[in-house]
Copies of this chain bind each other. A is one copy, B any other.
Amino acid sequence: MIVVMKPGTPQKQIAEVVALIEQLGLRANRIEGTELTVVAALGEKRDGAKQALETMEGVEKVVPILAPYKMASVEVKREPTVVQVRNLTVGGGRLGVIAGPCSVESREQILEVAHIVKEAGAAGLRGGAFKPRTSPYSFQGMKEKGLELLAEARDATGLAVVTEVMAKEHVELVAKYADVMQVGARNMQNYPLLEAVGEAGLPVLLKRGPSATMDEFLLAAEYILKTGNQKVILCERGIRTFEDHTRFTLPLASVPYLHEKTHLPVMVDPSHGTGKASLVATMARAAVAAGADGLIVEIHPHPEKALSDGYQALTPAAFREMMLDCRKVAEAVGLRM
């Protein structure tokens, strides 16, 4: 932690900063520059210290040096984490594809989709049973009935079921049916939920919040890792920016960046990341080329009849073509799919 003093700060105030650093159990190292003084604070304890120092008189700013996350860091674990459940493998050079409708809508729909997903060569089935919807007037999902249908589709196909859990009080129920529990973008910083899914022990697909920094994203993962559950898949799904030609802006550089910083696998969601069916397959290919460990894609047998988000769903034909293209790109960059 580097404490930058304002130019012209009296010696007395600098001395007080040094004193506070030592009082906090850290070592202070004072450095006189040409125009101002900085004080390095060295040692283990950090959280309260930064905040206390920032409020001292004469302090311009406090620059943290260490990354705030620990268990998610490559410093702690160098080998990539691989999440495996049924035939779905994510990470370590293996690219796992999860596909399915935004919402489970009926027995016919989810079984039809599951067979399409399987035949196209994907290993995971997505489908929302509990749906977080911006408007209280929108379809809120089939709830437990939807979970039962997902389980039936899994029995019929062997696909791993990936579904969102929106509330701590549903974790136990969802865990009975799901193979992977998804925490949605709106809940990335719902800490009681993160702890509860962590404790449930299933693999967790954690979506990036649309205004989350990388540090905030990894700290959210840290809440899960701290429960002892190491099976966390990060998912880039787009951020809020000024761009209005897509629903969100999909910043694929987060894939190689996260690979530098964390051992956790990184998936990409090109459906929410663009919000336009016509852009999804191309961005799926780009995500693979960026080194993504997985894809999660919305498809629907009849997008125009979807109860939610049909405008970003691929048709079965478009999905099959996407799979063929992604496989070629995966080979080109040395990933197995």
Contact = CB atoms under 8 A, between A and B. Distances in A.
A8 B211 CA distance: 32
A252 B331 contact: no
B333 A285 contact: yes
Residue among A51, A209, A273 with max Cβ neighbours from chain B (10 Å): A51
Contact of A289 (B51, B285, B304): B285
Contacts of A306: 51-52, 55
Interface in A255-306: 255-257, 260, 273-274, 276-279, 282-283, 285-291, 303-306
Contacts of A329: 289, 329, 332-333
State the number of copies, please.
4
A77 to B, nearest CB: 13
A229 to B, nearest CB: 13
A175 interface: no
Given A75-B7, A246-B253, A304-B52, A135 B260 contact: no
Range, interface on chain A: 35 or more
A234 to B, nearest CB: 14
B192 A166 contact: yes
A120 B197 CA distance: 45
A245 interface: yes
Contacts of A95: none
A162 interface: no
Contact of A213 (B38, B244, B257, B303): B244
B35 A253 contact: no
Contacts of A216: 134
Contacts of A35: 66, 75
Given A65-B38, A252-B286, A289-B289, A239 B243 contact: yes
B132 A189 contact: yes
A97 to B, nearest CB: 16
Interface stretch (A41-49, A81-89, A149-157): A41-49
A29 interface: yes
Given A186-B190, A192-B169, A249-B253, A285 B290 contact: yes
A121 interface: no
A125 B48 CA distance: 23
Contacts of A256: 278-279, 282-283
B34 A42 contact: yes
A304 B58 CA distance: 12
A333 B329 CA distance: 7
Interface in A15-52: 20, 29, 31-36, 38, 40, 42-44, 47-48, 51-52
Contacts of A169: 168-169, 192
Contact of A250 (B40, B56, B252): B252
A14 to B, nearest CB: 15
